[in-house]
Amino acid sequence: MGIAVETGKPLRECLGELGAVVAKFDFTFADAKKYLSDQTPDDAPHPAVVRRRARGPAAVIGPFNFPIHLPHGQILPYLAAGNPVIFKPSPMAANVCAKYAAAMQSCLPPGMFGLVQGGAEEAQTLCRDRRIRAVGFTGSVPAGKAIAAATVDDLSKDVALELGGKCAAIVCEDADLQRAAEMSAEAACLTAGQRCNATSRIIVDRKVLTSFLEKFLAAIHQFVPGDPTSEATRLGPLATDAAYKRYLRLIELNEGNWLKRGHAPASVDGKIGYYVEPAVVLFDDCEAASGATLSREEAFAPIVSIIAVDCEQELLHVHNNTAFGLTASVFTRSKQRFDHLAEHLEAGNLYANLPTTFSPSQLPFGGWKNSGNGRPGGRGFIRFATEEQAVQWGKDGFSAE
């Protein structure tokens, strides 16, 4: 309930987040056994071992949309690798993260886990501190670039960035259109679109455009603003005034053909908040879409650009012509077509007949280009929580003791 109250995230999503938090323990422990064990090469010229050593204190800077799950996915690997952790949560989830920190501190030795509350200034100060040896950040591109700039002079720091996205669902001519419509609508509206892997673009083969639009608009109309503390709510409010103003600015743009302009009701169920309705805009010309703000800027709100294309070349151009490369979904019945497109789509996480938001903890997670440096989350992150050390010795190099 605390996450819903502080961030406006629907309760049903909050319960799912807590389930993922619990599952992270088993995944992290399994990764520790796999990646932290010493390796003995059998083809080295001398006896040798490759081992992993703790980096030192790590700073984890968390977001508001998954205030526990996402930082937790970095905190656990750092701890399991022997690194003390200082957690700086989003100020929009300060209370629930303080409770999380207290629970972690009660189970760990003194000094292994600390909490720093605050905003951007505190995050910058923490990341610049010479004692911090690793930084894990989840958030916006500008904030990520600021952290990268603040730490660039300290080459001993490892900086893992999970940033934004302009994720697309690709609807091919042979797609199951009902499945594509329902999954894309949900992926656009989960957490009110405030996910880095939210579906904000849908690239559709023109041959099936009319039929897809009918199904998609019917699906997205089911997402209506509601009280986030109610289990029935599927679309909660935006989290901040800045996000609300950005939404209002974007839905007033004179770009494309608005199929559903969007609306910001003054109140919902008698409660005042940053409530918004989904907005849908159609671009019938892929070249016009390529230069449009609506199909390039990360909205972090339930605003979807639908772009019609006539051929595979247009499809790939539209998809890759963005500063981001996080997740993409391809809806097709052809495994051959999916495999072919996968060779050309610029995305760190690619799914067939699944939503762009389907990013399970069992897999690595990270993006290309401005979406980050490709390694911040999911399985295997523990590899970056340590330093690698290669040790070798001559066969007759030690004197007897």
Catalytic sites, residue numbers = 162, 196
* Rounded distance between C-alpha atoms, residue 364 and residue 349, angstroms: 8
Cα(106)–Cα(92) distance, rounded to whole angstroms? 24
SS3 326: coil
Contact between 22 and 73 (Cβ < 8 Å): no
Cα angle 281, 284, 342 (rounded to 5 degrees) comes to 90
Both tokens of 78, joined, read: 């750092």
Q: Measured at the alpha carbon of residue 223, what is the angle toward residues 222 and 228, in degrees to the nearest 5?
A: 135
Give 42's DSSP letter: S
Instruction: Give backbone dihedrals phi and psi of 154, rounded to 5 degrees, phi first.
Output: -110, 90
Q: Are the CB atoms for 30 and 262 separated by under 8 Å?
A: no
Q: Tokens 């750092």 identify what position?
A: 78
Whether 302 contacts 357, CB under 8 Å: no
Nearest to 65 by CA among 1, 124, 2, 3: 3
